[in-house]
Amino acid sequence: MNFKQKIIYMAFGCLFTLAGYFLATLGIEGITPYNASAQADNEQVIEKIVCRQLQIVDDNDETVAVFGDLGVLGRLLAIRNKEGKSVIALGVDGNGHGILTIRQKAGNTFAAKLHETEDGEGMLAVSNKAGEPVAALGVFDNDGGILIISNKAGEPIARIQANRDGDGGIIINNKAGEPVIELGATDDGGRLRILNKGKLKTY
C-alpha cells in the first residue's frame, strides 16, 4: 500500500468517525447520545397538553390514575389501588359540585365523602364497613354547624348543633331515633330536658 492509498483510507476513517459522532448527538434510536446525562438534566417544559383523558400507568403498564371527563361520574381524578379498584376520586360530580370520595379497598362502598350540597354548603359523611353513613358533619338550616352520629341501622342517635338563636345544643336519641335528652343554652342560661317516648319527664 503506497502513501496515497494510506491517505485515502485515513480520510474515509475520519468521515465515518464524524458521521457516528453527528448521529449520536441527534440521539438516533438505537444509538446512545454522547451527552445523555446532560440531556436528562435539561428537562423539556411543555406549556400545554390537550387530550380527552390522561392515564398514568406503573412499571407493569397497569393504570394507577385516570384524569378526565368520566361521563356521568363527572370530571375527576380517580386513583386506583394495586387491585385496579378506584378508591379515591377528586373533582367535579355530574351536577357540577366539588367532591372528594374515599372508597373501601374493594372499590364498591363509600368510606368517606366530602362534597357540596345542592344548597352550596359543605358536607362530610363517614360510613362503616357496611357502607352505612354513621357520622355526618355539615351545615344546619340556620347556617350554623351540625354533627350527626347514627347507629349501624342508620338512625340518628346524637346531634350537636347550633340552634336557630345561635346557641349550642346537644340532642340524644334512643335507637328508634326518638329524642330522650336535650341539652342546650338559652338567654337565661342552660337547659336540660329528659323525655320518655316523646313525653317530657324532667325540665
Task: Catalogue all structural domains in the chain, each as residue range(s) with its CATH number.
Answer: 1-45 (no CATH), 48-132 (no CATH), 140-203 (3.90.930.1)
pLDDT score, position 199: 66
Distance CA 130, CA 152 (A): 9
- Give the pLDDT band (50/70/90) at residue 31: very low
What are φ and ψ of residue 40, in 5° steps?
Answer: -65, -35
Q: Which of 77, 80, 35, 31 is nearest to 58 (CA)?
A: 80
pLDDT score, position 37: 54
* pTM recorded for the entire structure: 0.64
152 vs 141, residue with greater confidence: 152
